A and B are shown apart, each in its own frame.
Chain A
Amino acid sequence: MAIIERHAPGTTVVPALTPAPPAITPTRTFGALRRPVTTTGWKSWLFTVDHKKLGLMYGATALFFFIVGGLEAVLIRLQLAAPEGKVLNADLYNQMFTMHATTMVFLFVMPMAAGFANYFLPLQIGARDVAFPRINAFGFWCLLAGGIVVNLAWFLGGAADGGWFMYAPNSGPVFSPSRGVDFWVFGLQIAGIASLSGSINLIVTVLNMRAPGMTLMKMPAFTWMITVVQFLLLFAIPVITVALFLLGFQRMFGAQFFNVAAGADPLLWQHLFWIFGHPEVYILILPSFGIVSEVLPVFSRKPLFGYPFVVFSGAAIGFVGWGVWAHHMFASGLGPVSVAVFSVATMAIAVPTGVKIINWTLTMWGGKLVFTTAMKFAIGLVVLFTIGGLSGVTHSVAPSDTQQTDTYYIVAHFHYVLFGGAIFGIFSGFYYWWPKVFGKMLNERLGSWNFWLMVIGMNLTFGPMHILGLQGQPRRMYQWTDARAGEGFFNIAFWNLVASIGSLILTVGVLFFLINIVVTARNKTRAPLDPWNARSLEWMTSSPPKEHNFDSIPHIHHLDEFFHRKYEEDPATHTMREVATAEEVLAELERNADAHIHMPSPSYWPLVAAAGLPIITLGLIYSIPVAVVGGLVVLYAVYGWALEPSVAPASDFDPTENGASGNGHAVGASHG
């Protein structure tokens, strides 16, 4: 909560739990509401501004949407398993593939990465919270509101059905008369607020709140990759915001933007969407690149090979990622010059990605590999992403791409990079950080099942799609006929069946993960403090970390600071020898503990402000007066927010506390 009382230095039981924080008595009312004070129960989650709690909330929400999106995918595969599929009708099939992609991209991978970033980025840079804790909470509630709005359409006349890139004019009022696209537009707009506010928050956190001595080139690779992602979000989100506004205005108010009859250019939407959409691809994959850059060194017992190259290639991907968007539009008649330029840029972006693959491989080279589940998923990413990357390079060859456009070959490619890449990285992160977050190890035996079923399932599902695509099976067709299935090895009936069986194996694999969560939650055994012999700063905390993260803010001297506190080089043999255990390192921090740590205080306002947004949405779709009410709710919340200091004033704390004299150390939290 707002204050954590530490007694005089010298009390050093590790990992000691902090005594319950003293009562906070709000002395002032802000707007109509007094500051929330509950420290336990559901209220402590609802009004929290703690980056770890919010990280968990992001994670839980994303996991829920992963299951939703996964079930949508299974329905798609069931429909396509046999000729003349009858599971879904054409209309429902359109909604299904649109919502599958929308859910997986915007409601699973992005928020899951946001969850990891929220939880671990402050820990990795030695901070006690993010720069703007209340904006952080606002971001989470916006994401949840956006996810609900997008999915609400299922129950109110059918979900969006224009494909996840929602090409206009197809998504305009003439060709998509259902309300689904409206919900989609507004839902993504709200989720975009989450991404934009989150990006500003995390960039400021990284730039401003690093522990003393942590220069940019001493930051863990995960933090670096997340930082690159936040810059991509910062500049990509406003572009899709424009696109969504234009489409929304056309659908709501009859604007002409995509009305070809009035002379509109149908490529406008494509350009706006893909200027956002291609950076978005790296927004999805770079967090996972960051995760495996943490996992591979730990389980290879070696430092990350070529750390600066990993960092700068990540940044290079971030830059070049802005110059390749039109490779999504090779078939749209851009003209030879544009096609050539974007073709070359697309080939060029394979280089920094290849640099990363080489760095990971050489990190493992000659290392003492430990094949934990986290490591297996990380290696899985390296292999599967490489396959997906190579098929990606084939798209950069424009003539070949023209042949592949809108076929299952594309579907195969992006599932190798997104499932084999982004999702395997995320699962690697689950297994690696679970003991840090929950203090318990995920079961490794179930983890092994989880991993192998997912690898087999994923290759069976998406591998055959290369063949299907090259045989000309178009994506987004709701049925195929046996009469035109072809013969022999290239019989698409056979490969469609294989892909569908693969998707069921994949489902079982994911089920093992869910079972693992339950089994682990019931298990009473606590995880050791440093189960993996880890290297970076987030492990220099108790598991789970205390509310204020660090008892005293560590001074950083090395990349892999935690490792260097545990090990020193023996000058005689040039080998590393252990000089301290993790427990001893932690005890050292606790001995120097700050006496008074002022943490940002919980607040109602982020939740109230975010709750106003779906009301505005429903109002815009159904009845304008409701939208006005929603707007007033937001305005009211903004005023309460502006008047409320982010850290409760001194008068709110227990008056007996001797606040002025201690070794105070406040979080650099601001108006956030």
Chain B
Amino acid sequence: MAETATAQPATAHDAHGAHVTSTGLSNVKLGMWLFLGSDCLLFGGLISTYMLYRGRVANGPTPEQVYDIPFTSVSSFVLLMSSLTMVLAVSAAHKRDDRGTNLWLTITALLGTTFVGGQVYEFTAFYNEGLGFTTSLFGSSFYTLTGFHGAHVTVGIIMLLALVAINKRSRVPGSKSETVEMIGLYWHFVDIVWIIIFTLVYLIPV
């Protein structure tokens, strides 16, 4: 879409060709929604596996023994706040405020990094308490589920920082605000998944 606009200065005819899609949504946005829909099933499968196995601890520690709810609540709060800063980044991008965009994107990435750091700390603590990846079915499914979520957050952080770097050199191909918005969609999705994981995994007792 957007590239065609750069390839061709806007003319009256252009609106007829490049910009009008049958649904009115841009291809990229529709594609991103479809991807996120698909990703729901990925987490669906992982969450189901965890729910099936969370009580099967073998000789290892049980969920109640390892979970530190106050700590995880704080890191969850940090992640949720990053959704707010992401919204501010999208809003700045729509106002064509480059400085604001870069600032909020960077803060979002920092909050995301804090969350991932918290997860690394948590994993280390659990490991020291005797819950390894191979200790029990609970261990395998817990680390796999939360690890996949952490990987999603990490990919998001990489995208955010890359976008800042590319944006600073004005090399974003296509519509800048839409690119920010797309990364925003992904970021919010990852946050929403965390709300579900936090509720199901940490808060609801076995």
B is a partner of A: yes
Contact with B along A635-672 (1 / 0, CB 8 A): 00001001111111110000000011111111111111
Contact with B along A473-485 (1 / 0, CB 8 A): 0000000000000
Q: Is A592 an interface residue (CB 8 A)?
A: no
A262, B58: Cβ atoms closer than 8 Å: yes
A666, B136: Cβ atoms closer than 8 Å: no
Please give me the residue from chain A that is nearest to B174 by CB atom: A671
- Distance in angstroms from A202 CB to nearest chain B CB is 10
Q: Is A177 an interface residue (CB 8 A)?
A: no
Number of interface residues of A (CB under 8 A): 64
B13, A646: Cβ atoms closer than 8 Å: no
Q: Is A584 an interface residue (CB 8 A)?
A: no
**Which B residues are in CB contact (< 8 Å) with A52?**
none
A234, B37: Cβ atoms closer than 8 Å: yes
- Distance in angstroms from A149 CB to nearest chain B CB is 21
**Which B residues are in CB contact (< 8 Å) with A272?**
45, 49
B45, A256: Cβ atoms closer than 8 Å: no
B42, A249: Cβ atoms closer than 8 Å: no
List B5-21 residues whose CB lies under 8 Å from chain A.
6-9, 11, 13-14, 16-18, 21
**Which B residues are in CB contact (< 8 Å) with A642?**
162, 166, 173
- Distance in angstroms from B142 CB to nearest chain A CB is 11
Supposing A666-B14, A668-B1 touch, asked if A262 and B136 sit within 8 A by C-beta, the answer is yes
B49, A242: Cβ atoms closer than 8 Å: yes
In the bound complex, CA of A350 to CA of B4 (Å): 46
- Specify which of B16, B28, B31 lies most central, judged by the most chain A CB atoms within 10 Å of its CB: B31
B39, A132: Cβ atoms closer than 8 Å: no
Please give me the residue from chain B that is nearest to A641 by CB atom: B173
- Distance in angstroms from A562 CB to nearest chain B CB is 20
**Which B residues are in CB contact (< 8 Å) with A357?**
none
Q: Is A156 an interface residue (CB 8 A)?
A: no
List A251-270 residues whose CB lies under 8 Å from chain B.
253-257, 259, 262-265, 268
Q: Is A196 an interface residue (CB 8 A)?
A: yes
Contact of B34 among A200, A265, A639, A670 (CB under 8 A): A200
In the bound complex, CA of A493 to CA of B54 (Å): 51
A666, B31: Cβ atoms closer than 8 Å: no
- Distance in angstroms from B98 CB to nearest chain A CB is 18
Q: Is B56 an interface residue (CB 8 A)?
A: yes
Q: Is B76 an interface residue (CB 8 A)?
A: no
Please give me the residue from chain A that is nearest to B143 by CB atom: A255
Supposing A204-B34, A238-B45, A256-B140 touch, asked if A649 and B133 sit within 8 A by C-beta, the answer is no
A208, B30: Cβ atoms closer than 8 Å: yes
Q: Is A312 an interface residue (CB 8 A)?
A: no
Q: Is B35 an interface residue (CB 8 A)?
A: yes
In the bound complex, CA of A646 to CA of B18 (Å): 13
Supposing A208-B23, A668-B1, A671-B2 touch, asked if A263 and B58 sit within 8 A by C-beta, the answer is yes
A643, B171: Cβ atoms closer than 8 Å: yes
A238, B2: Cβ atoms closer than 8 Å: no
Q: Is A235 an interface residue (CB 8 A)?
A: yes
- Distance in angstroms from B47 CB to nearest chain A CB is 10
**Which A residues are in CB contact (< 8 Å) with B73?**
none
B42, A670: Cβ atoms closer than 8 Å: no
B49, A268: Cβ atoms closer than 8 Å: yes
Please give me the residue from chain A that is nearest to B35 by CB atom: A200
Q: Is B199 an interface residue (CB 8 A)?
A: no
A200, B133: Cβ atoms closer than 8 Å: no
Q: Is A203 an interface residue (CB 8 A)?
A: yes
Contact with A along B131-145 (1 / 0, CB 8 A): 001101101110010
- Specify which of A203, A644, A670 lies most central, judged by the most chain B CB atoms within 10 Å of its CB: A670
A669, B133: Cβ atoms closer than 8 Å: no
In the bound complex, CA of A505 to CA of B121 (Å): 65
In the bound complex, CA of A243 to CA of B45 (Å): 8
B134, A668: Cβ atoms closer than 8 Å: no
In the bound complex, CA of A268 to CA of B40 (Å): 19
- Distance in angstroms from A616 CB to nearest chain B CB is 14
In the bound complex, CA of A551 to CA of B30 (Å): 27
- Distance in angstroms from B175 CB to nearest chain A CB is 9
- Distance in angstroms from B38 CB to nearest chain A CB is 5
Please give me the residue from chain A that is nearest to B159 by CB atom: A642
Q: Is B65 an interface residue (CB 8 A)?
A: no
In the bound complex, CA of A210 to CA of B24 (Å): 12
- Distance in angstroms from B39 CB to nearest chain A CB is 7
A196, B21: Cβ atoms closer than 8 Å: no
In the bound complex, CA of A131 to CA of B29 (Å): 11
Please give me the residue from chain B that is nearest to A261 by CB atom: B58
Number of interface residues of B (CB under 8 A): 53
**Which A residues are in CB contact (< 8 Å) with B34?**
199-200, 203-204, 234
A210, B6: Cβ atoms closer than 8 Å: no
- Distance in angstroms from A668 CB to nearest chain B CB is 6
**Which A residues are in CB contact (< 8 Å) with B179?**
671
B13, A238: Cβ atoms closer than 8 Å: no
- Distance in angstroms from A305 CB to nearest chain B CB is 27
A200, B21: Cβ atoms closer than 8 Å: no
In the bound complex, CA of A262 to CA of B138 (Å): 10
Please give me the residue from chain A that is nearest to B28 by CB atom: A670
**Which A residues are in CB contact (< 8 Å) with B173?**
642-646, 671
In the bound complex, CA of A246 to CA of B144 (Å): 8
In the bound complex, CA of A613 to CA of B41 (Å): 23
Supposing A237-B38, A238-B45, A664-B11 touch, asked if A670 and B1 sit within 8 A by C-beta, the answer is yes
In the bound complex, CA of A131 to CA of B136 (Å): 45
- Specify which of A236, A246, A648, A666 lies most central, judged by the most chain B CB atoms within 10 Å of its CB: A666
Please give me the residue from chain B that is nearest to A203 by CB atom: B34
Q: Is A598 an interface residue (CB 8 A)?
A: yes
List A613-640 residues whose CB lies under 8 Å from chain B.
639
**Which A residues are in CB contact (< 8 Å) with B30?**
131, 203-204, 207-208
In the bound complex, CA of A249 to CA of B147 (Å): 12
Contact of A242 among B7, B35, B45, B166 (CB under 8 A): B45
Please give me the residue from chain A that is nearest to B18 by CB atom: A666
Q: Is A446 an interface residue (CB 8 A)?
A: no
Contact of A249 among B4, B11, B140, B162 (CB under 8 A): B140
B8, A650: Cβ atoms closer than 8 Å: yes
Q: Is A209 an interface residue (CB 8 A)?
A: yes
**Which B residues are in CB contact (< 8 Å) with A648?**
7
B7, A649: Cβ atoms closer than 8 Å: yes
Q: Is B124 an interface residue (CB 8 A)?
A: no
Q: Is B193 an interface residue (CB 8 A)?
A: no
List A163-198 residues whose CB lies under 8 Å from chain B.
196
A667, B4: Cβ atoms closer than 8 Å: yes
Q: Is B27 an interface residue (CB 8 A)?
A: yes
B45, A239: Cβ atoms closer than 8 Å: yes
B134, A254: Cβ atoms closer than 8 Å: yes
Contact with A along B163-176 (1 / 0, CB 8 A): 00010000101100
- Distance in angstroms from B182 CB to nearest chain A CB is 8
Contact with A along B188-206 (1 / 0, CB 8 A): 0000000000000000000
**Which A residues are in CB contact (< 8 Å) with B166?**
642-643
Contact with A along B32-60 (1 / 0, CB 8 A): 00110111111011100100110010100
Q: Is B128 an interface residue (CB 8 A)?
A: no
30 A-B pairs with CB atoms under 8 Å apart are A131-B31, A200-B31, A200-B35, A208-B22, A214-B22, A234-B37, A236-B41, A243-B45, A249-B140, A253-B134, A255-B133, A256-B139, A257-B49, A264-B56, A272-B45, A642-B173, A646-B3, A647-B6, A647-B7, A650-B6, A659-B9, A660-B8, A666-B7, A666-B14, A667-B4, A668-B1, A669-B27, A670-B26, A671-B174, A671-B179
Closest 3 CB pairs of A and B: A242-B45, A666-B4, A208-B21
Given A239-B45, A642-B166, A669-B3, 15 additional A-B pairs, CB 8 A: A238-B38, A239-B44, A243-B45, A246-B144, A255-B144, A257-B140, A265-B53, A642-B162, A649-B6, A659-B9, A667-B4, A669-B1, A670-B26, A670-B27, A670-B174
Which residues of A line the B interface, CB within 8 A?
131-132, 196, 199-201, 203-204, 207-210, 214, 234-239, 241-243, 245-246, 249-250, 253-257, 259, 262-265, 268, 272, 596, 598, 639, 642-650, 659-672
